[in-house]
């Protein structure tokens, strides 16, 4: 009886404590919802609503709001890419998502689908299966061209693609002894990883790279750019702890592997045509011709640099990648473009002594760039180091000036260098000529 009375005495305290905890929790959660709504609204209003790569699409009928996708996102807590709104996960800063894909694996309810493109902006993706093989038997695609823009993912998929090639290779029964098992086209992150894997598996391979060094798109990044923030595993090397790694450090690391492993890569060799033949394929380059049983395309999506198509673009002072900001010290420079590479080029040159830098972009906001690059550009503009010309376009380039049009008005700037960071023309026609189907994705897997 005494025990019963004791329990009755403390029951209101228990209930009150539980109620208080619940109220505080709900207040904190509702405050988080409001903050995330505000972040999403700001992204939409500023035009930052277009993901640049693979990104998650949420099925809110399945989402239970557990936050597992948010916790696993490698961009957190530095960049708040995902967030809960009204108890459901959402992509609250679309332009910040760079396609890690870890959120899909973490979701216990299968509420996430990884997709490309949006209803407003389609993305061309070659059609491949889970084994990386296209609808042309014997032709495989991995890396950035297949939608894996993240370096870590590209390295992993280059290795897995070669495993798939190896499994599908039929047993040899005589034939041409000079015939290769695979020709790997491109020596960027995916291509280099695939090459190491091919060597490790004793596959007869040839790797051709149009540039004069390993790296692919990474070579075109500005000096000092942070490119790796997570551990990665390389064939023949094993797991490597790579955090806060710059462009220079990564390229030097790859060169060391190339030197020490003895892997063979044919540099400064550009593929001109891939033709189907009876036993497989003939790959014709500017230097040679290869007979092979399979082809692995690890081309970047950068393709051929997109030209401005204006008078004076053929002048020597016009370039399509930034090697070293110090080259423009004390000069009048114009950067053209609105993506990460353009903002990184503009802000890095603006930090050089005596440099006068302007950036021209056709849209009204830098919607394709990451928040940290937009912030740096804003700070440089505020400090008077960067002249930002939104909704503008170049009309003419002369020996000592550049002419632009902005809101119907003509602008002339003194100029000694133009860096065009307007992306590239995708190798879509080259892929289609091989026979591979290219699909335009509008928010679909």
3-class DSSP assignment, residue 335 = strand
Quick one: pLDDT at residue 303?
64
Residue 378 is encoded by which pair of tokens? Answer: 């804003």
3-class DSSP assignment, residue 403 = strand
**Are β-strands 245-246 and 226-228 bridged in parallel, bridged antiparallel, or unpaired?**
antiparallel
For the chain, what is the mean pLDDT? Answer: 88
Calpha distance 118→311 (Å, rounded):
34
266 beta partners: 208
Same domain, 341 and 416: yes
Same domain, 356 and 267: no
CB 126 within 8 A of CB 437: yes
Same domain, 420 and 432: no
Rounded percentage of the chain residues whose pLDDT exceeds 70: 92
CB 338 within 8 A of CB 366: yes
Other CB atoms within a 10 A radius of the CB of residue 245 amount to 18
Residue 1 has pLDDT above 70, yes or no: no
For 208-239, give the secondary structure using H, E and C.
Answer: EECCCCCCHHHHHCCCCCEEECCCEEECCCEE
Residue 182 belongs to some domain of the structure = yes
Residue 397 has pLDDT above 90, yes or no: yes
Residues 6+ apart with CB under 8 A from 304: 424, 425, 427
What's the maximum distance between 2 C-alpha atoms anywhere in the chain? 100
Same domain, 166 and 57: no
Residue 7 belongs to some domain of the structure = no
Calpha distance 364→39 (Å, rounded):
19
CB 59 within 8 A of CB 8: no
182 beta partners: 205
Quick one: pLDDT at residue 370?
78
Residue 46 belongs to some domain of the structure = yes
Quick one: pLDDT at residue 229?
59
Domain with residue 275: its CATH number is: 3.50.50.60
Residues 6+ apart with CB under 8 A from 192: 155, 158, 214, 254, 257, 258, 265
Please state the φ and ψ torsions of residue 176, each to the nearest 5 degrees.
-75, 120
55 beta partners: 115
Calpha distance 180→438 (Å, rounded):
26
Same domain, 292 and 193: yes
Residue 10 belongs to some domain of the structure = no
CB 415 within 8 A of CB 401: yes
Range of the domain at 297: 124-303+427-441
Same domain, 46 and 70: yes
Quick one: pLDDT at residue 399?
96
Residue entry with tokens 């051929």 = 304
Same domain, 269 and 395: no
Residue entry with tokens 């790579």 = 242
Residue 386 belongs to some domain of the structure = yes
Residue entry with tokens 């995902």 = 82
Q: How confident is the model at residue 424 (pLDDT cuts 50, 70, 90)?
A: confident
pTM for the predicted model, two decimal places: 0.76
Same domain, 141 and 287: yes
Per-residue b or e along 352-381, where b marks 16 or more CB atoms closer than 10 Å to that residue's CB: beebbbbbbbeeebbbbbbbebbebbeebb
Write out pLDDT tens, residues 348-380. Answer: 999 999 999 999 999 988 877 877 888 999 999
Quick one: pLDDT at residue 120?
80
Where is the domain boundary, 115, 133, 164? 115
Calpha distance 225→244 (Å, rounded):
10
Write out pLDDT tens, residues 229-278. Answer: 567 888 888 887 776 778 888 888 899 999 999 999 999 999 999 999 98
Same domain, 161 and 70: no
Calpha distance 142→115 (Å, rounded):
17
Calpha distance 112→58 (Å, rounded):
5
Q: How many structural domains is the chain composed of?
A: 3
Same domain, 288 and 322: no
Where is the domain boundary, 95, 115, 135? 115
Residue 228 has pLDDT above 70, yes or no: no
Residue 310 belongs to some domain of the structure = no
Residue entry with tokens 């995330």 = 36
Residue 244 is encoded by which pair of tokens? Answer: 């806060």
Other CB atoms within a 10 A radius of the CB of residue 194 amount to 36
User: CA 432 → CA 104, 288, 427, 435, distances in Å?
Assistant: 31, 22, 9, 5
**Among the residues of 311-427, which ranges form H helices?**
340-350, 371-382
Same domain, 162 and 289: yes
Where is the domain boundary, 115, 147, 177? 115
Entry field: residues in the chain: 445
Residue 383 belongs to some domain of the structure = yes
CA atoms 38, 40, 41, 43: torsion sign: positive
CB 87 within 8 A of CB 27: no
Residue 228 belongs to some domain of the structure = yes
Same domain, 181 and 206: yes
């Amino acid at each position: 009886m005494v025990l019963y009375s004791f329990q009755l005495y403390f029951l209101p305290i228990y209930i009150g404590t539980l109620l208080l905890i619940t109220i505080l929790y709900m207040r904190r959660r509702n405050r988080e919802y409001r903050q995330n709504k505000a972040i999403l609204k700001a992204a939409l209003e500023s035009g930052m609503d277009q993901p640049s790569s693979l990104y998650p699409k949420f099925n809110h009928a399945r989402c239970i709001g557990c936050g597992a996708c948010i916790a696993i996102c490698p961009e957190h807590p530095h960049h708040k890419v995902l967030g809960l709104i009204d108890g459901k996960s959402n992509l609250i800063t679309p332009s910040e998502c760079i396609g890690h894909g870890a959120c899909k694996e973490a979701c216990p309810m299968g509420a996430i689908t990884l997709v490309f493109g949006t209803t407003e902006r389609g993305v061309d993706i070659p059609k491949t299966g889970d084994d990386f093989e296209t609808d042309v038997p014997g032709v495989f695609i991995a890396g950035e061209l297949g939608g894996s823009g993240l370096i870590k993912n590209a390295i992993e998929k280059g290795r897995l693609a070669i495993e798939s090639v190896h499994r599908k290779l039929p047993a040899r029964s005589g034939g041409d002894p000079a015939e290769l098992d695979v020709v790997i086209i491109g020596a960027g992150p995916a291509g280099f990883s695939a090459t190491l894997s091919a060597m490790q598996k004793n596959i007869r391979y040839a790797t051709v790279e149009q540039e004069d060094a390993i790296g692919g798109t990474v070579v075109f990044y500005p000096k000092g750019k942070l490119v790796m923030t997570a551990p990665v595993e390389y064939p023949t090397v094993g797991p490597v702890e790579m955090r806060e790694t710059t462009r220079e450090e990564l390229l030097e690391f790859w060169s060391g592997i190339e030197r020490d492993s003895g892997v063979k890569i044919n540099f400064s060799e550009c593929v001109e045509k891939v033709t189907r033949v009876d036993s497989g394929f003939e790959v014709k380059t500017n230097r040679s011709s290869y007979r092979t049983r399979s082809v692995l395309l690890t081309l970047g999506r950068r393709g051929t640099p997109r030209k401005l198509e204006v008078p004076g673009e053929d002048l020597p002072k016009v370039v399509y990648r930034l090697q070293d900001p110090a080259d423009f010290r004390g000069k009048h420079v114009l950067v053209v473009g609105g993506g990460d590479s353009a903002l990184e080029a503009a802000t890095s040159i603006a930090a050089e002594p005596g440099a006068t830098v302007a950036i021209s972009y056709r849209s009204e906001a830098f919607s394709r760039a990451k928040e940290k690059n937009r912030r740096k550009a804003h700070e440089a503009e505020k400090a008077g180091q960067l002249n930002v010309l939104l909704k503008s376009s170049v009309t003419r380039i002369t020996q000592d000036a550049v002419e632009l049009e902005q809101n119907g008005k003509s602008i002339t700037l003194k100029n000694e260098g133009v860096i065009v960071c307007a992306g590239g023309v995708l190798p879509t026609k080259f892929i289609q000529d091989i026979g591979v189907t290219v699909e335009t994705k509008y928010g679909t897997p």
